[in-house]
Structure 1
């Protein structure tokens, strides 16, 4: 790759990207543009601008993307009921394509000839950032310092920062021993003691959720309204997608909902162990499946469930902007046109229970499903021929085997 003249950096203001900012300047003698995304991570971003300015950065972008994140990325994903490897609600994975999208937009608008990120060479995020960038800017040049430099430990990063005069603020509480990633959907924790899959983390690891054992002793009921597969109100109060998720996060956190301890298969071929908190998302998934149970035809629902693992894997592996993900999304969204109504859930001690659902677009017909007199709505004698025809191949096979 030719020497870049101007680089757009995905910048958090933390240790890694602060070192990367100075390293880019030292290594390539290039101008750096910084971009910081507010996607609901709950951190103050006031420190970002002065830190970038300290090193001569003139073009500093700090964008509030919370609403776009939930509306255009989280909600479409939840229409698919996407879960990776049976448990993970994809909180980190779904944030990366939005960051890549905005980074590319800024890079092109400011005349950059390269982009850079702080993802390591062992993780998934490097793939997600770069596949997203290439899908939107085919000629993009990517600088991934973790694949180039020899600053491969926290000690070396701190030494470089000290020598370069990079201020690294220490948190008053001593900080977390884990590598954390937070956004409006979740928080993830990796590293530290979690690198031993047998080790059990103590309760201090969790930031969003109450210990279920210490959660309220009285259950709480919540009603979520859906319109075309998206949540639009909680307990009768309308809200934007981000506002809805924020309310559900608080409710879920209060009742200890959404904790996960998982060993997962990274796209690069490494197994990793992480802990996740997704309180609002856990509630939302339960509610969405409940309203779909009323409104989707059997074969629609089953086909969606068959496609879901593929859809989830596309997001996990970084293919949000791929033609196959767009194709699946179009099919999924078509199924959601009549997914309208309300779901009532019971929240208690870390668990979410269905407590009721109703819809004007329901396919549930009490006259068909009742155990009482159905007044001729269903002729039970019809089931005999249905069973015999469906059992024909089984009887034929059994006769062959008997021979």
Structure 2
């Protein structure tokens, strides 16, 4: 093993990262610093402190940070200004959390004087790429230790045997405590992989879903809400100002109660394989619909179309781990500039898995009723102008048709 004096580990306190702590101590003979992030995963993060102490981590080397507001404000909201969707469906709930974790890993490494960072992502997944691209972008000389690419353990049984051998206290050792799925949650979404989901033909079990009721059992009465937008971000719900994390938390609750935000997807991972996963993104699904609605009346046509044409590339950058790249930052500047007039209120109807736009209004609206009306417009629009417009746009096709093409 290469010489490492101190390493910062992204630590959840679960089976994998608890084993990694011991493995790092044993194989690298180094001091371990643990970092546990609260990004709204819905689980108590403080027990990670007791677990780290039990693993011999010094109290001053245990970092537990509440990053919920930063996560939504600086990562989720900027992404949603672009109406970002990967491969037509995925709202990138896992992907967008990784650059924040990478950023904090590097910050702690600098604070603690560590010369390496470590994570528990496997060698088959996207997260290893996202963590490490972010780390190298922010701290080019950092050493990254990815145990799943180094050790010989390849199954849950081998991990459990290692835990038993080294007296590692792991909650999952209790019978019946393990979910059949590999799950990852944050304030934007919860994901499910593994188990029966590895068979694309198998329908996800109803009791798998944690955040939402099924659309069939959602209330028969629709829920109406109003979202106020300022420069592309939702800032108030039903007239009440909310912080970014508060906004997403409440929208998750409202969406989940109405069966909104479920997704079953086979996606193309950056490492090359196809993977089937299920996702719940209730608040994000509401925000995407609302944002497109307010943009529909406040954005110039060509600006809106240009944004839509760039969005798949922007989504790909985030999915593949290039949040900290110059090209993503360049696109973000363009996207943010487009949002200066995206202000106003959207009224939505939430009903049995659906998010339905019921109204939108803005002082910055480009919708002109006098021009758009089917009634008399008082001369606001000269319909004869359309004749020359059509002929000029048809010119190239007429020339080609005359040539028999």
- The TM-score bracket by the shorter chain reads over 0.9
- Give, in angstroms, the shift of residue 157 of structure 1: 0.4
Q: Secondary structure at the match of 2:286?
A: helix
Which of residues 69, 72, 77 in structure 2 aligns to 1:70? Answer: 72
* Partner in structure 2 of residue 54 of structure 1: 54
Q: Secondary structure at the match of 2:404?
A: helix
Q: Does 1:317 align with 2:292?
A: no
- Give, in angstroms, the shift of residue 190 of structure 1: 0.3
Q: Residues 2 and 28 of structure 2 are in contact (CA less than 8 Å); yes or no, is this contact kept in structure 1?
A: no
- Superposition RMSD in Å: 1.0
Aligned counterparts, 1:4-403, within 5 A: 4-58=4-58, 59-170=61-172, 174-401=177-404
Q: Secondary structure at the match of 1:321?
A: coil
* Displacement over 4 Å in runs of 4+: none
Q: 5+ unaligned residues in a row in structure 1: which ranges? A: none
- Give, in angstroms, the shift of residue 16 of structure 1: 0.4
Aligned equivalents of 2:216, 2:245: Cα separation in 1: 29
- Comparing 89-98 with 173-182, which one deviates more in the overlay? 173-182
Q: Deviations over 1:109-144 (max 9, x none)?
A: 101111000000000000000000000000010000
TM-score between both structures, scaled by the size of structure 2: 0.98
Aligned equivalents of 1:236, 1:211: Cα separation in 2: 29
- Give, in angstroms, the shift of residue 173 of structure 1: 6.2
Q: Secondary structure at the match of 1:188?
A: strand
How many residues are paired up?
402
TM-score between both structures, scaled by the size of structure 1: 0.99
Q: Residues 218 and 257 of structure 2 are in contact (CA less than 8 Å); yes or no, is this contact kept in structure 1?
A: yes
Aligned equivalents of 1:172, 1:121: Cα separation in 2: 28
- Give, in angstroms, the shift of residue 174 of structure 1: 3.0
Q: Deviations over 1:192-238 (max 9, x none)?
A: 11000001121011000011100000111110000000000111111
Aligned equivalents of 1:34, 1:64: Cα separation in 2: 14
Aligned equivalents of 1:202, 1:166: Cα separation in 2: 33
- Give, in angstroms, the shift of residue 2 of structure 1: 2.8
